[in-house]
Chain A
Amino acid sequence: MSLKEQPALTASDISCWFHLPQSWLDRTVLGKPSRMVKAVDGISFQIPRGTTFSIVGESGCGKSTVARMVVGLQAPTRGTFDFAAGRGRKGRLRTQMIFQDPFASLNPRWRVGDIIAEPIRELGLCDGAKETERRMHGLLDTVGLGSRDAGRYPHEFSGGQRQRISIARALAAEPEFLVCDEPTSALDVSVQAQILNLLADLQSDLGLTYLFISHNLSAVRHVSDRVAVMYLGRIVEEAPVEEIFDHPRHPYTKFLLSSVPNLLHPDRDRVPVAVDLPSPINPPPGCTYNPRCPLASDLCKMTAPDSSYLGATTIRCHRAAEARLS
């Protein structure tokens, strides 16, 4: 396989388990065993260079934990991430992250110019202060802010502008791989459109690879090439974006898609299914989706399904064949 064809990131059998200690009394007097939360439980995926891979799911499904593991903020319990060769540390792809909350992810006591220039100085990407400053102004221009903004503080900006600053800071390190963890969740739709358009422009100009984490299905449809649907720490369905949205196979994917209000054809007499997300501390046996699944059989309640392949789709469901027909 040539270097060009090698995927930007290969994640193999990644797990991230968190230990939940019992209190001292429960442990010593009642002898309760300690518990584990399997936030991420054996997921694998590949992201080809220059493409966008998205992970969607409800809160608590483990999608942000995956993002944190990819950038190294969290060590996986098991499994490996293989990055393609690049300019980053240890000769891997250089990776940066854009966080969800633009209010919490910028240092309020630094000027915007310093926030953006820090990675340039830290990584020694430019020679001398003059060059660094020119690069910093260039980055502000790239994300649609003015040179004057360099001297201002984060609190002087709106949410969308702050997210632009986050993006400029991420770009300052000249990344090849960008992890976007809910980059537009805190923003208004009109501002979300500006940010999504900006991310698309940057991808085509700089050839970036994105890992896009979101619970917003319509944003995911807009930006992605491939989509993985996560449920309780596992990827239940993974496919090219058109397959996921036009031919969803897994009952959970179908359920998620049907929950999104459709603007032009609103379902005003919707009868929603009322089941809450089970606790990841004590997941149901068998397929973890079985308590919510309309197709659940006895097999689903006993054993967890393995991955199977239907065309371009990878799916974890015992009833995949039937689900496809229904």
Chain B
Amino acid sequence: MTIAPVHISPHAPAHSAGAVLDIRKLVVEFPTRRGILTAIRGIDLTIGRGEILGVVGESGAGKSLTGTAVIGLLESSGRVAEGEIHVCGRRIDNLPRREMQKLRGRTIGAIFQDPLTSLNPLLTVGDQLTETMRVHLPLSRAQAADRAIKLLQEVGIPSPELRITQYPHQFSGGMRQRVVIALALCAEPELVIADEPTTALDVSIQAQITALLKRVCRDRGTAMMLITHDMGVIAETADRVAVMYAGRIVEIGPVASIIRAPRHPYTKGLIGSIPSLTDRRERLVQIDGAMPRLNAMPSGCAFHPRCRYANEQCRNDRPPLLPAGTSEAACWHLDREEVSHVA
């Protein structure tokens, strides 16, 4: 069930050339007393209408920061130093705060990891939904309340008429996350940034939430950036996936090909380290070491200190994203036989 749009938004037809989100050479820095820390070191990506782009990586890879930069909620110490962010053809990274505030919720919706802290504990769920809708859409109080009920129904909350009068603490974790999704969708955004939307939830509830996110994107044509560290969620939900390491995209491409035939040594390690549910291995593949710190970034390819194929070239020159089958990967060893096939 979908809700009719309130007013005609300039929806581009599906698969049009204009991407909903277009990030070009984005660099995010944090100037500190001991020098500038560059957390995102130049990333390019696009998301089309109705597409779900998964962004994976270890903690500290810069995946959440990318999402935060798009929403325009970087901490005051951080700044977009270079590059551009376009949403629906409009450049948004240099907008004044007020303009950005209008966009947030209306054009870009956000879903965060912890549903309890994303909701106001002092307002009923219905008040939060209607308030958000009325800020962005020309609706009367009654119309907004009516839409709130329909939205809650759409995200799978039983007896929504009763539920809109309740407070967040009266909802379970999974139901709360549904409310957060409803809240992110209530002004019909073109783009939703979902930052670890299922990490705080049990697997059974995770399955419900990912199914819901997929349905919403398909039915409404919403573009979604799904940030998670869980490859399983990506495999079932996303259309394409970007693997991030140390502030850069190291591999990007269609989900199925990246999971079945990862090309970058880091992606291979990441996928190999996931214990399988169906067969038992004696030892898990492990990537030794840890991601470099921001103030001690290695020269050349940032992954070289942990990579078993590293050579002189890797230590000196940073590899660009090179075509590798259906995907692209940033590695000098893509033509090596043992790298290009799954171990």
Chain A positions near chain B (C-beta within 8 angstroms): 58-59, 158-161, 188-194, 196-197, 200, 215, 217-219, 221-222, 241-242, 245, 255-257, 259-264, 266-268, 270-274, 276-277
Contacts and interface: CB of A to CB of B under 8 A. Distances in A.
Given A190-B287, A259-B203, A218 B274 contact: yes
Interface in B212-271: 214, 229-233, 235-237, 255, 259-260, 269-271
B236 A261 contact: yes
Nearest to A60: B202
Nearest to A220: B275
Nearest to B256: A266
Given A58-B202, A256-B204, A263-B259, 14 more contacts: A58-B203, A58-B204, A161-B290, A188-B229, A189-B231, A192-B273, A193-B275, A193-B284, A193-B286, A219-B275, A263-B231, A266-B255, A276-B172, A276-B205
A159 B59 contact: yes
Contacts of A159: 59
B50 interface: no
Interface string B7-21: 000000000000000
A159 B290 CA distance: 10
B202 A197 contact: no
Given A160-B290, A221-B275, A222-B275, A276 B175 contact: yes
Count chain B CB atoms within 10 A of each CB in A189, A193, A218, A256 and give the residue with the most: A189
B233 A277 contact: no
A144 B281 CA distance: 22
B203 A217 contact: yes
B76 interface: no
A200 B204 CA distance: 28
Contacts of A255: 204
Contacts of A260: 203, 232, 277
Nearest to B283: A197
B232 A274 contact: no
B232 A261 contact: yes
Contacts of B283: 197, 200
B211 A217 contact: no
B29 interface: no
A270 B273 CA distance: 25
B58 interface: yes
Contact of A217 (B210, B277, B284): B277
A196 B275 contact: yes
A245 B203 contact: no
Given A197-B286, A221-B277, A268-B236, A263 B207 contact: no
A190 B273 contact: yes
Nearest to B157: A274
A107 B74 CA distance: 31
Contacts of A200: 283
Contacts of A158: 59, 290
A274 B208 contact: yes
Nearest to A196: B284
A260 B280 CA distance: 16
B46 interface: no
B32 to A, nearest CB: 17
B203 A256 contact: yes
Contacts of B281: 222
A194 B291 CA distance: 14
24 contacts: A59-B202, A158-B59, A188-B58, A189-B229, A189-B231, A191-B58, A215-B202, A217-B203, A217-B277, A218-B276, A222-B281, A245-B278, A259-B203, A259-B204, A259-B206, A260-B203, A260-B277, A261-B235, A263-B235, A266-B235, A268-B237, A270-B210, A270-B211, A276-B172
A271 B290 CA distance: 38
B278 A262 contact: yes
Contacts of A218: 274-277
Nearest to A198: B286
Contacts of B58: 188, 190-191
Contacts of B210: 261, 270
A219 B277 CA distance: 8
B174 interface: yes
A90 to B, nearest CB: 37
A205 B153 CA distance: 55
Contact of A189 (B208, B259, B273): B273
Nearest to B293: A158
B37 to A, nearest CB: 16
B78 interface: no
A29 B325 CA distance: 74
B60 to A, nearest CB: 8
Q: Which 10 A-B pairs have the closest CB atoms?
A: A261-B232, A193-B273, A222-B275, A193-B284, A266-B235, A218-B275, A58-B202, A272-B207, A188-B58, A272-B208
Contacts of B285: 193
Interface in B169-196: 172-175
B160 interface: no
Nearest to A279: B172
A197 B284 contact: yes
Contacts of A267: 236
A317 B58 CA distance: 41
A268 B281 CA distance: 26
B274 A189 contact: yes
A279 B78 CA distance: 43
Contact of A264 (B203, B205, B260): B260
B269 A190 contact: yes
Nearest to B198: A261
Interface in B321-336: none
Contacts of A271: 211
B231 to A, nearest CB: 6
B270 A189 contact: yes
B319 interface: no
Given A188-B59, A188-B229, A268-B236, A263 B274 contact: yes
B42 interface: no
Given A158-B290, A190-B58, A197-B284, A263 B203 contact: no
